Structure formats: structure tokens, C-alpha cells
Structure 1
Amino acid sequence: MEEERTRDDSSVPEMLEIKVPSATKDGEIIRFEIKTVTTLTDFPSCEMSTTRTFEDVEWLHNCLSVREDPGGSIVPPMPNRPASTAAEAEALMKQEFGGEMRNMLADQIPKYCRSVEMFLCLLAKHARYRRSEPLKQFLVSEPLPPRVLAKLSMFKRATNVVKDKGLQSKKDPDEFFHGQRGFVHESHQCMKDVNVVFHQQLVAQRQFAMSLGAFASNITKAGSSACSSIESHTKLMTRFGQVMDQCQQSENTLATSSENSFAFTFCVFEKYLESSKDMLNRRLRLLTESEAAAAAAVKAKASNKAKADAAREDAVQKFEEISRLGRTELSLFHQLRVHSLQTALVTYCQNQISTGRDTYAMLARSLSELRQIDDE
């Protein structure tokens, strides 16, 4: 009863918190554990737990982006599909890190959990989607409705692509949206470029860590074989190999923290900017349709005048609605984008500084130990 009173208390702030703490492999299927805590009265309970597959995540995104008209809403981007087989995982690692990296990062489950959690958290923060029926079904229903993915027809997709290309040079009468089109396009390209460069840095960092590991192994073997008769030399080589092994661990820690903070957030918001572009293109298409409807109403004959006027009013209403909602969406999106990137950058810098200090202390301590061995 206390729980119900708390949920019904209007003074309690609205909260919808979603976590994906773990996932398990069932053959080629990855099942994600979804835990939800909420004060929203739309949900049957304050705390819920269920399991979902990636196909369920696809169904949710499809419901919000295709089955329902997004209008002026910016739909949070779909997470990347996880590799469900060993062959897919190896192909993905080769694509991301090159052939030499295929044995690295074997356990990708935490990465997949983080991606799905980010998608769900972005939905939970969205004023429209946090109360949507598909999200509620995803978090509560057992089982989900049949996962039939709605798809845009090939003709409609091709038509939208052609329209969007033709509208790139169109001047928007609203200065706010005209400026946003240019800003979002430039920002999206910058994010893509940063992602490419940062990914190259991660690859180099992982490869350097592998080289340190190989060097440490060879040094240790050399100390225990060829010079095993000289005790001090053996100790020196063994300890030096241990130092290189610790350096490898430090490099891997830096790369992992960079991937989990800066690289992960940039990848998400690169795709989120793509969703923003989609919303702006939808609005621009409605602008041209309202202009065409207005021109048709002016030219309409008396017998078709009422029908043409109704079509014009409908087109204008749709355009005004997407403009009203789109303006709010863009403002909230940029606030979220700036805050998330700032947080990721601070976390990245803190991890770099912390790991750097630990590595420096380890090297200073190891150097002192090596000198003691050398003096013996």
C-alpha cells in the first residue's frame, strides 16, 4: 500500500530509470536483462524486470520510427547489432581492429549491454517516447506482440531520397530552421571525422599494447633460458618483463576507458545527429507540400475550390505542427548532446590522468627495484 501511495503522490517527481546490467548467450541469441524503476503511473509497478533479445530492440525502434509517424520528434538512434556467433565476432574485430586484433576483446557482452542501455535511457529521457505504448510493452509485456517490422516501400524510400537531395539548396523561410540545417550537417560531418581519427588512435593503442605483451613475454623467456646461470641477470630480465606486462595492462586500461567514454558517446551522437537530419528533412518535405497545396488552391476551379482549400489547410497544419515540435526537440537535443559530450570528455580526461599517475608510480617503483637488482 505504501508503494501505491508513493506512486500516486503528485509531489513525487517523474522518474523512469532503465538499466541493462547483464546479458546471456542462448545459442546464437543474446538475451538482455532489463531492469526498470519508475514513478510513472502508466506502469503497473514501481520496479520491473524482464529479458529481451536484440530483435525486440529492433521491434521497439521500428514501432517508434516507422509504424508511428515521428513528425517533429528526433528518434534516438538504434544501437548496432551485436555479433551473435564466433564467426561474426571475429569478422567484426577484423573490421574494427585488423587481423592481428581478432583474439582481443573476446567478451563483447558488456559493450552490447551498454549500447542497448543507452538507447533505452535516451527513450526514457524523451518527453514523447517515455510514455509511448511500445516502450511500455517492451518493459512490461510478457511476451511482446508479434515482432513484425514495418518497412517503408522501396518506392517511398527512393522518393524521399530524391526529394531530400533536391531540397538541400532550398532556402527555409524560418531562419532558425535554416541555421539548424547547416549546423546539424556540419556537426554530423565533424563527428564522423572525429570518430574515424579516434578509432585509428584506439587501434594503434591496442596494437602497441599487444607489442608490449609480446616484448614482455620474450624478455621473460630470455631471462629464464639463455642466462639462467646468472641469478642477478635472470632476476633483472624477469622483473623487466613484469614491468612491460604492467605497461601493457595500463595501455589496455587507457584504451578501454577511452572506448567506453569518449568513443562510445561520440558514436551515439553521430547517429543521433543523423536522426536530427531526418527530422529536418521531414519538415522540409512538408514545407514543399504546403507550398504546393497553397499554389493548387489558388489555381483551383470553383468546383474543386473547397477540396483544394481543405488540402491546403491540412498541409499547413501539419507543417506548423512539425515546426512547433521540431523547434522544441532541437533545443532539448542540443542540451542533451552538449551535456553528454562534456560528461564523456571529463570522464575521458579523468581516466587518462588517473591511469597516467598509476603508470608513473609503477614505473618509478619498478626502476628503483631494477637498480637494486643491478647493484647486487
Structure 2
Amino acid sequence: MMEEVQEVRSALSVHGHDIKVTDVLRDGDALTFVIVSQKLSGTGEYHVDRTYDDFEWLQQHLFSQEDVPGIQGVIFPPIPAKPQVNASAKVLKQLGFLGLGEWQPYCKALETFLRQVASHSMLEKNKAVEIFLTSTDPPGRQRARKNIFNRLSQAVEEKRKEGHKDVDEFFQAARDQNLNLTGHSKNAAERFLDVVLTEQKIAVACGHFSAALHLCVEAGEDPDKQAFSRICVKLSEVFESMKKNMTSTAANDVSTLGLGLDLESRYQEAEKEMLFRRTCKLVELETARRNAEKAKPVKKTAMEEVKKAAETEFDQICGVAKQEIARFEGVRVEILQQALVQWCEQQLLTAKESADQFNQYLQAFRGMA
């Protein structure tokens, strides 16, 4: 069992951009993910086994860095919802593309989460990241500590802060844009998921029809029956090919644009949380200023100190937040562009393979005629 992690800054000993989640091991309903990281020294790799609880342990430590100036301005890389074997319909809706039954997309999502954390200039310094990626022991099970998201949960009760007018036009515009994009990205992911689910249903239907055609095959020496049976067999092969092509198309959709839209949606939510944390701090600052103005002489000095501390913290958060938004805008465009390019490439490849196969079947039917 690992020792309790202190929030000490430390450099990673692995290549953050080359972290891989290579496999998932099942033991009943328990899932364990195999993580491989390339050592910076070039002398080998780290292989560690982690459960989803371990990922939450890492995220908890990232959220708990209250001593890091401006940490609340960070757009924390979003972790996928907890996976479950034989999940309910509600859980599947939360998981979206990551809950379609294949574990490869989910492993890819966890891999992206780790790479984003390990490549973040502030988050990668947390000692918990190094321990998570390199130690063969499982992370310690520690009591939940107060962190910025505990405060966020308390702030959610004060809904008035969500619509609070911002003093900075940059952040007001960022909030308005995020509110718009959050809804659109979620809707796009849901609609594309409907497309994938429909493709899977079509693949199943093609498989059933292919099997049903074999029931039409009749034995005997009657020329007409023999000809009809040959046609049924060939049609069965055609629909079996359609099933494979449609299954491949659905899988490609998930692994390319599906994962891209899923990550975009979760990252928009992460930016929304960051902007809301900053808004809460803005409200606290304005309250501190009013209290300092109204304070009686005996409390004036103390209230001024509280105001100055709030101003310093707010300025640090704003500085980090502006850098995060600029970085996020560049990354999200790159990720979506890459997902679209990969999707188009796979679509073209599958279409070409399908066209070649159907051309062969067409020639076969012409030969039968």
C-alpha cells in the first residue's frame, strides 16, 4: 500500500505523450486497466494495474492542490464516468460511446485523460501523477479531503451565481460561448450515437436475414429449385457481407468521430466548471470589497486584509484561466479535426472495400444468369 501522498512538486520520469492503456482485465464485475508508460531514461517501460477507484484517487489529488496559486483556473482533464459490467440503461446513457460493450473505446478515453494530465504544466508536477504511473503498488485508500470541488458543490446551491454579471468582457464572452457550445456538443454526440446504434441494428438485421435465406435452400434434383437455392445462398453471402461492412462502419465511427465528440462534450463541461468556480470567486471578492467598505474602524484593517487576499487569489485564477482557455481552444480544434480526418479516411476505406465486394457479387449473379 502506498504511503500517503504529500502535494510535493515533482517531475515525471515518463514520456507523458506516450502513455497507453493497453488492456482491461475482468474479474467478475471488477475491471482492472493495464497502463504502460515509456521511461524517460529510455531503459524500459513501467507496467501498472489500476482500477477506476485508482483513477478517482488521482483525480482527488489533482483537485486538492489548494496551495498552488491559480489552481481553480485550470480546466481539469475530464475523467469518463465509471464503467460497469452489465450496466443499466441509465449508466449506458451517461457513458454514451464508451458504454457500447467494447472496452477499447473506454481504454482510449482513459488513455487520453492520463496523457492530458501528464502533459499539463501545472498538473504533471503533482507527485500523485508520478506514483500513479510508476508504482507497482495500488494507491492508498485515503479519506476524502476538502478540495475545490467540495466548495463547488456548496456553491451550486447558490444558483444566483451562475447568471452573475461578469466584470471582465473576456470571461463574459467565454461563459456565453461555453454555454452555447456545451449544449451543441452534447447534442451532436447524442445524435451521432443514434447513428451508430442504428448501424449496429442494421448489421444485426442483415445477419438475421442472411441466416433466414438458408432456410429457403431445398435439396432435390429439380432444376428450378436448384437454381433458386443457389440464388438464396449467394444472397445470403451478400447480406453477411453487408453485416460485416456495417459492423465495421459502426466500430470506425466510435473509434474516430465518436470518441472525438465524446471528449469535446466532456471538455466543454470541464471548462464550464472552471468558469463557474471563477464566477464564485468573483462573488466572494465583491462581497469582501463591500464588507471592507462598510467595516467599522475596529474591523477595518482585518477586512482590508481579507479583501487584498481575495483580490490576489482572484487575479491568480484569472491569469491561469486565460491561459487555459487559449490552450483549450487550440487543443479542441486539433482533436476534432483529427477525429474528422480519421473518420473520413475510415469511411472511404470501408466504402472502397464494400464496393469491391459488391462488384464481385454482381459479377457472380451475372454469371448465374
Q: Any idea what SS the aligned residue of 1:167 has? A: helix
Structure-1 residue corresponding to 2:8: none
Q: Any idea what SS the aligned residue of 1:71 has? A: helix
Contact 2:132 2:139 in 1 (8 A): no
Contact 2:203 2:244 in 1 (8 A): yes
Q: Distance in 2 between matches of 1:20 and 1:207?
A: 29
Q: Any idea what SS the aligned residue of 2:157 has? A: helix
Q: Distance in 2 between matches of 1:95 and 1:49?
A: 30
Amino acid at match of 1:25: R
Displacement, 1:226?
8.8
Give the stretch that moved more between structures: 225-234 or 333-342. Answer: 225-234
- Listed one character per residue, the Cα deviations across residues 174-197 of structure 1 (whole Å, up to 9, x for unaligned) are 111110000111001001111121
Residues 283-322 of structure 1: matches in 2 within 5 Å?
A: 283-322=278-317
- Listed one character per residue, the Cα deviations across residues 167-223 of structure 1 (whole Å, up to 9, x for unaligned) are 233221211111000011100100111112111111111111111111111112212
Structure-2 residue corresponding to 1:239: 234
Structure-1 residue corresponding to 2:59: 61
Q: Distance in 2 between matches of 1:72 and 1:361?
A: 53
Contact 1:83 1:92 in 2 (8 A): no
In the superposition, the TM-score normalised over structure 1's length comes to: 0.84
Amino acid at match of 2:326: S
Structure-2 residue corresponding to 1:365: 360
Structure-2 residue corresponding to 1:109: 103
Structure-2 residue corresponding to 1:79: 80
Residues 162-311 of structure 1: matches in 2 within 5 Å?
A: 162-163=157-158, 165-224=159-218, 230-311=225-306
Decide whether aligned partners of structure 1 residues 318 and 117 sit closer, same or farther in structure 2, where only a CA change above 3 A counts: same
Structure-1 residue corresponding to 2:3: none
Q: Determine which of 294, 298, 319 is the counterpart of 1:324.
A: 319
Q: Are 1:48 and 2:46 counterparts?
A: yes
Decide whether aligned partners of structure 1 residues 316 and 242 sit closer, same or farther in structure 2, where only a CA change above 3 A counts: same
Decide whether aligned partners of structure 1 residues 92 and 155 sit closer, same or farther in structure 2, where only a CA change above 3 A counts: closer
Contact 1:188 1:274 in 2 (8 A): yes
Displacement, 1:144?
3.4
Identical positions, percent:
25
Contact 1:34 1:50 in 2 (8 A): yes
In the superposition, the TM-score normalised over structure 2's length comes to: 0.86
Gaps of 5+ in 2: 1-13, 94-98
Decide whether aligned partners of structure 1 residues 93 and 255 sit closer, same or farther in structure 2, where only a CA change above 3 A counts: farther
Structure-1 residue corresponding to 2:19: 18
Q: Distance in 2 between matches of 1:128 and 1:234?
A: 68
Gaps of 5+ in 1: 1-12, 97-103
- How many residue pairs end up in the alignment? 345
Q: Any idea what SS the aligned residue of 1:298 has? A: helix
Higher RCO, 1 or 2 (CA under 8 Å, sep at least 6)?
2
Contact 2:57 2:139 in 1 (8 A): no
Displacement, 1:25?
1.3
Give the stretch that moved more between structures: 190-199 or 318-327. Answer: 190-199
Q: Distance in 1 between matches of 2:150 and 2:315?
A: 27
Q: Any idea what SS the aligned residue of 1:168 has? A: helix
RMSD: 2.7
Decide whether aligned partners of structure 1 residues 228 and 266 sit closer, same or farther in structure 2, where only a CA change above 3 A counts: farther
Q: Are 1:36 and 2:30 counterparts?
A: no
